Structure 1
Amino acid sequence: MALLQYNPVHKKVPVLVHGSKPVAESLVILEYIEETWPQNPLLPADPHERAMARFWLDFGQQKGLTFFSFFLATGEDKEKATSEALADNKFFGGNKIGLLDISFGWLVHWFGCMQEVVGLQILEPSTLPRLHEWTVHFKEEPVIKENLPDSSKLLTHYRRLKEKFT
């Protein structure tokens, strides 16, 4: 819980501590990383693609649960939107992982745990092939794979919640 001392306002993580200076909140941290280490950009180089990434980031922040419901809905419209957003790329910003992928990457870990706890496949390869491909590419990206948290604590938490509500 030592990281909580660096975010006295909200008392929550994530917090990035760089040179003893804390930076809090997920998107703010990603923007800080983008600006601090420009040799490894998280946003696409193309201004239009960068604007589109920012649009989707803002959309996700503004819509919250509404945006989350997109991932739980079914249908051709969702697959079409995903296919258009990914085009022929591995990631939303191209063939290199970027800010938008990292921003929504937590869903990959969360969905995996939820699927295991409730016994329901949320991201079916047959119904959402492009979104499923993205999750596979995301989890296999070395920088992500090396840093994914241990899912056992999250699984324990969700199992307790399930028991509480069933």
Structure 2
Amino acid sequence: MATSGVKLLGVPPSPFVNRVQISLNLKSVDYELIPENPHCKSELLLKYNPVNKKIPVLVHDDKPICESLIIVQYIDDTWTSSSPSILPSDPHDRAIARFWASYIDDKWFPLLKQLQDAEGEEAKAATVGKITEGVVLLEEAFAKCSKGKAFFGGDSIGYVDIALGSCMGWVKAVEKIANFKILDETKTPALCQWAGTFLADKAVKDVILAPEKLIELFMMMQAQQKPASN
């Protein structure tokens, strides 16, 4: 179902913006993407998100919604006539999906940045260990949530798929930068297969940037952050 009056403030390299894009694509909602530099707050961003002052922001009929997972839930609740449903209908399954999405945001995904910032081999090894432990937990969660189907959401992309899948571009980029396999076919075969299926989906494939592009952007940001030499 196409609709008007939907705007999204953000930039494609952000996995959190990608979540909203994927959700809108799943619901066949037309939207306008308004580029918003997260490091240079525009008046529009400050108007629509004066509290956190960050992307993404979904603006629907001039009413803003902030925080990526909250936006995903809003999209699912608003465009109910468009299938598939993103969140499970069963209350227990919904609670479990929200739990794992929170785990990804609060515990696991931040480890990728910690790995990039880690100084010394010991610190890097400790972070790699935590990332690996987290991936094993997510492999187990996939087995339970998917119930033998292709996605965490079953037959179609769901809430946890969007939460984790939006990170896959940066996961692949970090693998190349750190020379370390995050998704390992020997340890997490189901997640490896899931990642390929997710990234190939028509709602996703034109949203997630290639790891090479993300690495290029990462290197540019690193160069900009270096202090100028005298």
Range class of TM-score, shorter chain: 0.7 to 0.9
Match of 2:131 in 1: 72
Q: How does 1:59-138 map to 2 (within 5 A)?
A: 59-61=103-105, 63-65=106-108, 72-73=131-132, 78=137, 79-138=139-198
User: 1:42, 1:97 within 8 Å by CA — same for their partners in 2?
Assistant: yes
Is 1:29 the counterpart of 2:71? The answer is yes
Residue segments in structure 1 that go unaligned for 5+ positions in a row:
none
Distance in 2, Cα, partners of 1:140 & 1:87: 21
Distance in 2, Cα, partners of 1:15 & 1:139: 23
Match of 1:143 in 2: 203
Deviation at 1:74, TM superposition (A): 5.0
Distance in 2, Cα, partners of 1:124 & 1:48: 30
Whichever residue aligns with residue 194 of structure 2, its letter is W
User: 1:49, 1:93 within 8 Å by CA — same for their partners in 2?
Assistant: no
Q: How many residues align?
A: 162
Whichever residue aligns with residue 107 of structure 2, its letter is G
User: 1:13, 1:24 within 8 Å by CA — same for their partners in 2?
Assistant: yes
Distance in 1, Cα, partners of 2:66 & 2:49: 6
Deviation at 1:56, TM superposition (A): 2.1
What percent identity do the matched residue pairs reach? 35
Moved over 6 A (4+): none
Task: Quote the RMSD (CA, aligned, Å).
Answer: 3.1
Match of 1:18 in 2: 60
Is 1:154 the counterpart of 2:214? The answer is yes
Q: Deviations over 1:26-78 (max 9, x none)?
A: 111011101101133111233332232123234445x4359857872159964
Q: Which has the higher contact order (CA 8 A, sep 6+)?
A: 2
Question: Cα–Cα, structure 1 residues 58 and 74, in superposed 2: closer, same or farther, change >3 Å?
Answer: closer
Question: Cα–Cα, structure 1 residues 19 and 151, in superposed 2: closer, same or farther, change >3 Å?
Answer: farther
Is 1:4 the counterpart of 2:45? The answer is yes
User: 1:90, 1:137 within 8 Å by CA — same for their partners in 2?
Assistant: yes
Secondary structure of 1:73's match? helix
Secondary structure of 2:80's match? coil
- Residue 55 of structure 1 is aligned with which of 99, 123, 128? 99
Q: Which structure is larger by alpha-carbon Rg, 1 or 2?
A: 2
Distance in 2, Cα, partners of 1:131 & 1:150: 19
Question: Cα–Cα, structure 1 residues 66 and 31, in superposed 2: closer, same or farther, change >3 Å?
Answer: closer
- Residue 88 of structure 2 is aligned with which of 38, 44, 47? 44
Deviation at 1:112, TM superposition (A): 1.2
User: 1:27, 1:103 within 8 Å by CA — same for their partners in 2?
Assistant: yes
Question: Cα–Cα, structure 1 residues 67 and 53, in superposed 2: closer, same or farther, change >3 Å?
Answer: farther
Whichever residue aligns with residue 201 of structure 2, its letter is E
Whichever residue aligns with residue 154 of structure 2, its letter is G
Distance in 2, Cα, partners of 1:125 & 1:141: 21
Secondary structure of 1:133's match? helix
Question: Cα–Cα, structure 1 residues 21 and 71, in superposed 2: closer, same or farther, change >3 Å?
Answer: farther
Secondary structure of 1:23's match? strand
TM-score for both structures, normalised by structure 1: 0.78
TM-score for both structures, normalised by structure 2: 0.59
